[in-house]
Amino acid sequence: MIICQIDEFSVNGIRGWATDTENPSQPVFLHALADGQEFLQFHCTDLREDVHASGIPSLNTGFQIPMPHSLLDGKTHTITFKNRLQQIEIYSQGQGLEHISFSGRLPVETHSFVDGLKQGVLNGWVVRGNAAEGWKGGQQILVTCNGQKIAQIEANRYRGDVGKALSCDPYCGFQFSPPDLYRKPYEQEFRFYVLPDMLEVANSPCLTSFVTDANESLIIDVIDQIDALHVELTRLRRKVREILPQPGFTIADYHSWATAYFPVLRKYVDRTRNDDLILGNPLVSIVCPVWNPDLTDFTAAIESVRAQTWQNWELILVDDCSKNAELRAVIEDFAKADSRIKPLFQKQNGGISIATNAGLEAAQGEWVAFFDHDDLLADVAVEYMLREATRSRADLIYSDEDKIDASGYYREPAFKTDWNYRLLLGVNYVCHFVMIRHSALQKVGGLNKEYDGAQDHDFLLRASEHIPSEKIHHVPEILYHWRITANSTASDIGNKRYAIDAGIKAVNDHLERRNLPANVDSQMGMTLYTVNWQFNQFPSVTIIIPYKDEIPTTARCLDAIQKYTRYPNYKVILVNNWSITEEAEAFAQKVDDIPNVEILTVKEPFNYSRINNLAAKDETSDFLLFLNNDVFVEQENWLEILVNEALADPQVAIVGGKFVYPNQTVQHAGVLLGIGDVAGHAHVGIPRNEGGYAGRAYFPQEISAVTAAGMLIRRPAFELVGGFDEEHLKVAFNDIDLCLKVRDAGYKVIWTPDFCAEHHESLSRGSDDRPSTERRFFHETQFMIEKWGNTLRADPFYNPHFTLDRQVFFDLTIPGVDETRYPPLESARKKIRPLWDTSTLTAESKPSPATKKPVTKKIQTKTRIKKPSATTAAKAAE
């Protein structure tokens, strides 16, 4: 029997003693339970002389344990103690108890600080709460000046630094712009008090003075002149670009570009050969299955390997029982002439996978490369791939490629994206030239005959199951020429119908191995695939739609959502940004009758980032979906499409869709970084159902950014990165900045064409080209360049051979002109294309960051009209 005596029971903890009546010299071991759930195990070993004096043999019977913060919520809880071996009798104040009933709450505390004056605005933060219930922002602050009450404000602005440091609600900041009456040239005393207790904020009072009206006017005038000068210089720069002839190349004259490009690439490799860019002297095994090739093309293929600038290779030619007797003699002659060529002759025809596997088994190299019997390698291909493998520490690398026709004409360049798993599900965009580390090949395995015709696609999908994405590297150079012949897939996929069926099976089987439920279909009867996810899960989504008047447009947007959305677990927040028309008031009253729609009124100047942050602040949904009021959905499964893309990969935090103009041409198909200095939309102007360059507009894919005109984001990710930047990016580029912050945090951004909607771009707020908005747009552009400069110039999903200042996916860089394209050792992707040609600028003439002028912040009010969502109402009915 164990006797347990409770001496003290409070919010600070539980104190008492316990003894084993049958073995009093041994310390007692107890389990503490709250509401039947164990929260602590402990030994009763504290010194208790008073207990010993009462006749208990042991001096060490006491215990003192803390009260869990989770129990200090004001609710009644039952606490008891148990021992697994013996029965326990609990006593308190001389009475026997089965358990102890307890309710308590930690006192509410306030933490706060006034940071001081910045750009004419007083800043600070306040949180109230306790460790049990958390620390909350949104507190009311009374402001006084020289003892006189002058304002009451709310501490609800985002302060990610405070949230991270204190593990508290990040929406706890406040800003106060003193009215003109209190902006004196002499010192003023501003004090801040937390209501209702009138607790003074730490570091208050704030003693400060302001410039005189005359001086402030003079400063603002100078800033205005500087801003206007920057804007005019930017306009002139663009005009000069338009006036000057545009020498260069496009996709349409790719052959001319290629003939200029390859000498530049060779020159770079020659110039940097002694820079120790390759570790050791690795052997590269080039595996080439052979079956009845044209002998002229076959000979050219072998000679392209023999011409490699990297000498330590072996070429394994696996003849798959070809019917051409002359071919064997050609192979044997090459083997005699060059000991690095190693022939294997199969006894019976087994197909491309079996032949390739025979070569893989014979490979002795540290690296293994795949090569077709009639294609060509650029002479620096192997050397350049090894350099990139060393630099990136990759296990699998692939290059760009083009096609070559019978007359030796270069065509159809495949300027590829960096590793893009989601794109690979839709199309084998990797194709050639692929090299894999031999140790990684052992994990992946060879080719599978079941997928002949799509065996390389299956191989890459299996590779993605075994090789981490950071170990797969793209080399953005044309190193492989895919020969166009009458029976090759380079000529006509219709010649290999079996390849389509094999590709469908490859993608389906891969997804099954990853336990991802989906149906896979071919697009347009080609080796292009649509993945239809089948998750049948419906996490909660809050759709946030800002509007200011424009009621017919907003009503159409809302009506389309209600009409077409079959997704069962969503609600809509309409953010009324100071609408003033009677029509808007009537609309709000009408919306009041819709069960899963609520209105948030924000009475302050338009700040897209701010009003969306306010709408998202108190939401608990799994996902947030930011939607412009001029976007009109038209698919019943549009919301499932977006959510399913996120469910397919826990690393996906943001998903965006395709948007088209009313004339059914593309307005948005993902965002490309660096276009127009910051970013631009991909595939603008192509017909809705066309694929654009390399069919990219056909497929869901990872991308750097998507527009917030229709952006789904995981709420925890949105909160992690601090939401939209409401200080620096009030209107433009806030969505780009959000996507880049999310990618910096380790998440992915996915664009999908499977969700397509009509978008009347900037219908409500107008264009950024108007004089009234030009200055604001200029400052936002400068901020993005200063914050994300290198990132903007190196989009991993937009090939660096495309220019940033002309037509996307069409105009090409000029080989040899931009020497920064080939730096000696560092990553070329991080150094290409400076925004300004710094070689022609003096220190005085180089562009400088724009000077910021103080902005007066108005005190804002907001009201939220809440109604139960459809899901909540359904649960209540049950």
Residue 398 pLDDT > 50: yes
Q: In whole numbers, what is the pLDDT of the chain averaged over residues?
A: 87
Q: How confident is the model at residue 382 (pLDDT cuts 50, 70, 90)?
A: very high
Long-range pairs for 851-854: beta carbons < 8 A, 24 or more residues apart: 851/223, 851/226, 851/227, 852/119, 852/779, 853/119, 853/219, 853/220, 853/223, 853/224, 853/227, 854/119, 854/120, 854/121
- Report the C-alpha gap between 257 and 248 in whole angstroms: 8
pLDDT value for 84: 81
pLDDT value for 211: 63
Q: Which of 171-175, 305-309, 311-315 has the lowest mean pLDDT?
A: 171-175
CATH 3.90.550.10 fits 541-798, yes or no: yes
Residue 291 pLDDT > 90: yes
Q: Which of 243-247, 288-292, 606-610, 687-691 has the lowest mean pLDDT?
A: 243-247
Give the count of alpha carbons within 13 A of 407, CB side only.
3
- Report the C-alpha gap between 798 and 741 in whole angstroms: 19
Q: Which of 210-224, 416-430, 466-480 has the lowest mean pLDDT?
A: 210-224
Tokens 């739609």 appear where? 545
* Count, residues in the chain: 878
Matching fold, domains 2-105 and 109-210: yes
The H-or-E segment that residue 612 falls in is helix 608-617
Q: C-alpha dihedral over 592, 594, 600, 603, to 10 degrees?
A: -50
- Report the C-alpha gap between 329 and 324 in whole angstroms: 10
Highest mean pLDDT among 269-273, 485-489, 856-860 belongs to 269-273
Residue 821 pLDDT > 60: no
pLDDT value for 830: 33
Highest mean pLDDT among 106-115, 207-216, 289-298 belongs to 289-298
Cis peptide before 433 (omega within 30 of 0): yes
Angle at 832 between CA 831 and CA 837, to 5 degrees: 105
Q: How confident is the model at residue 876 (pLDDT cuts 50, 70, 90)?
A: very low
pLDDT value for 435: 98
Residue 409 pLDDT > 60: yes
Q: Give the residue from 713, 723, 743 showing the smallest Cα distance to 624.
A: 713
Q: Give the residue from 507, 509, 697, 604 showing the smallest Cα distance to 156.
A: 604
Mean pLDDT across 662-672: 94
801 in Cβ contact with 812 (< 8 Å) = yes
For the chain, domain boundaries: 2-105, 109-210, 276-528, 541-798
pLDDT value for 487: 55
Residue 114 pLDDT > 90: yes
Mean pLDDT across 277-304: 94
What percent of the chain is modeled with pLDDT above 70? Answer: 88
178 in Cβ contact with 190 (< 8 Å) = yes
Residue 858 pLDDT > 50: no
1 in Cβ contact with 89 (< 8 Å) = yes
pLDDT value for 217: 67
Residue 841 pLDDT > 50: no
784 in Cβ contact with 793 (< 8 Å) = no
Highest mean pLDDT among 261-265, 273-277, 577-581 belongs to 261-265
pLDDT value for 577: 92
Residue 581 pLDDT > 60: yes
What percent of the chain is modeled with pLDDT above 90? Answer: 66
pLDDT value for 489: 53
Residue 854 pLDDT > 50: no
- Report the C-alpha gap between 814 and 810 in whole angstroms: 13
Q: Under CATH, which number does the domain 2-105 receive?
A: 2.60.40
Residue 852 pLDDT > 60: no
Residue 216 pLDDT > 80: no
Q: Give the residue from 618, 656, 630, 664 showing the smallest Cα distance to 558.
A: 630
pLDDT value for 43: 93
Q: Which CATH number fits domain 276-528: 3.40.50.1980, 3.40.50.1220, 3.90.550.10, 3.30.70.2080?
A: 3.90.550.10
775 in Cβ contact with 227 (< 8 Å) = yes
Mean pLDDT across 34-41: 90
Q: How confident is the model at residue 164 (pLDDT cuts 50, 70, 90)?
A: confident
pTM for the full predicted model: 0.74
**How crowded is residue 330: how many other Cβ atoms within 10 Å of its Cβ?**
17
Q: Give the residue from 480, 581, 575, 490 showing the smallest Cα distance to 527.
A: 490
319 in Cβ contact with 308 (< 8 Å) = no
Any residues with CB less than 8 A from the CB of 437 and at least 6 apart, and which? 366, 367, 368, 389, 394, 395, 396
pLDDT value for 225: 78
Tokens 């690398």 appear where? 397
pLDDT value for 25: 86
> If DSSP codes are grouped into helix, strand and coil, which group holds residue 694?
helix
Q: Give the residue from 362, 353, 375 showing the smallest Cα distance to 455.
A: 353
478 vs 851 pLDDT, higher one: 478
Residue 851 pLDDT > 60: no
Structurally, what CATH architecture does the domain formed by 109-210 represent? Sandwich (2.60)
Residue 859 pLDDT > 80: no
Tokens (6 digits) for 91? 């006593």
Q: Are strands 652-660 and 748-759 parallel, antiparallel or unpaired?
A: parallel
Mean pLDDT across 540-545: 98
48 in Cβ contact with 37 (< 8 Å) = no
DSSP string, 507-540: HHHHHHHTT--EEEEESTTSS-EEEEE-------
- Report the C-alpha gap between 99 and 89 in whole angstroms: 10
DSSP string, 250-296: EGGGHHHHHHHHHHHHHHHHHHTTTS--S-S---EEEEEEESS--HH
Residue 563 pLDDT > 90: yes
pLDDT value for 108: 86
Q: Which of 373-377, 487-491, 858-862 has the lowest mean pLDDT?
A: 858-862
Mean pLDDT across 659-681: 93
319 in Cβ contact with 287 (< 8 Å) = no
- Report the C-alpha gap between 537 and 311 in whole angstroms: 55
